[in-house]
Chains A and B, each alone.
Chain A
Amino acid sequence: MTTPFLHINGIRKTFGDVVATDHVELKIAEGEFMTFLGPSGSGKSTTLYILAGFQEPTAGDILLRGKTLLKTPSHKRNIGMVFQRYTLFPHLSVGENVAFPLRVRRTPADEVQRRVKRALELARLQGFEDRMPANMSGGQQQRVALARALVYDPPVLLMDEPLSALDKKLREEIQHEIRRIHQETGVTILYVTHDQEEALRLSDRIAVFNKGRIEQVGTGPQLYNSPASHFVADFVGDSAFLTAEFTRASGGTADLRFADGTEVRGVPLHGADPKGRAELMLRPERIRLVPQPGAGPSLPVTIADITFLGNVTSILARTSWGEEVGIRLPFGHPMASGLAPGAQTQIEWDAASAHAFAARAH
Chain B
Amino acid sequence: MLLNFHMLGWWRWALGAVCALVAAFLLLPILFIIALSFGDSRWLIFPPPGWTLKWYEELFSDPRWLDAAFTSFKVAAVVAVLSVILGFLASMALVRGTFRGRAFLRGFFLMPMVMPVVVLAIALYATFLWLGIAGTFVGFVLAHLVIALPFAIIAISGALEGFDKSIEDAAILCGASPWEARLRVTLPSIKHGLFSAAIFSFLISWDEVVLAIFMASPRLQTLPIKVWGTLRQDLSPVIAAASTLLIALTVALMVLAAFTRKGKKQ
A→B interface (CB under 8 Å): 52, 54, 73-81, 83, 85-91, 100-101, 104-105, 145, 148-149, 152
Contacts and interface: CB of A to CB of B under 8 A. Distances in A.
A80 B167 contact: no
B211 to A, nearest CB: 36
Given A73-B177, A89-B188, A91-B191, 10 more contacts: A74-B169, A77-B173, A78-B175, A85-B164, A87-B170, A89-B171, A89-B185, A104-B174, A104-B176, A104-B180
Interface string B133-163: 0000000000000000000000000000000
23 contacts: A52-B169, A73-B177, A75-B172, A75-B176, A75-B177, A75-B181, A76-B175, A77-B173, A79-B173, A85-B166, A87-B166, A87-B167, A89-B170, A89-B188, A90-B167, A91-B191, A100-B184, A104-B176, A104-B180, A148-B174, A149-B173, A149-B174, A152-B174
B170 A83 contact: yes
Contacts of B107: none
Contacts of B189: 89-91
Contacts of A88: 167
B229 interface: no
5 cross-chain pairs, A with B, having the tightest CB-CB distances, nearest first = A87-B170, A101-B174, A91-B188, A104-B175, A104-B176
Contacts of B166: 83, 85, 87
A257 to B, nearest CB: 54
A105 B175 contact: yes
Contacts of A74: 169, 172-173
A87 B164 contact: yes
Chain A CB count within 10 A is highest, among B174, B180, B184, for B174
B188 A100 contact: no
A75 B172 CA distance: 5
B188 A81 contact: no
B56 to A, nearest CB: 42
Contact of B169 (A54, A77, A100, A152): A54
Interface of B: 164, 166-167, 169-178, 180-181, 184-185, 188-189, 191
Nearest to A76: B175
Contacts of A86: 164
B188 A52 contact: no
A78 B181 CA distance: 15
Contact of B175 (A52, A89, A101): A101
Contacts of A80: 173
Contacts of B177: 73, 75
Contacts of B191: 91
A83 B165 CA distance: 11
A91 B264 CA distance: 11
A91 to B, nearest CB: 4
A75 B178 contact: yes
Contacts of B181: 75
A152 B175 contact: yes
Nearest to A152: B175
A77 B189 CA distance: 25
A104 B169 CA distance: 14
A222 B170 CA distance: 35
Nearest to A78: B175
Contacts of A87: 164, 166-167, 169-170
A232 B104 CA distance: 48
Given A75-B177, A91-B189, A100 B164 contact: no
B171 A100 contact: yes
B112 to A, nearest CB: 32
A152 B173 CA distance: 11
Contact of A145 (B170, B185, B188): B170
Contacts of A81: 170, 173
Contacts of A145: 170
B173 A52 contact: yes
A89 to B, nearest CB: 5
A298 B188 CA distance: 69
Nearest to A105: B175
A271 B177 CA distance: 47
Contact of A83 (B169, B175, B178): B169
Contacts of A85: 164, 166
Chain A CB count within 10 A is highest, among B166, B175, B176, B191, for B175
Nearest to A52: B173
A96 to B, nearest CB: 11
Chain A CB count within 10 A is highest, among B170, B173, B185, B189, for B173
A75 B95 CA distance: 23
A98 B116 CA distance: 52
A53 to B, nearest CB: 8
Contacts of B184: 100, 104
A215 to B, nearest CB: 28
Contacts of B172: 74-75
Contacts of A52: 169, 173
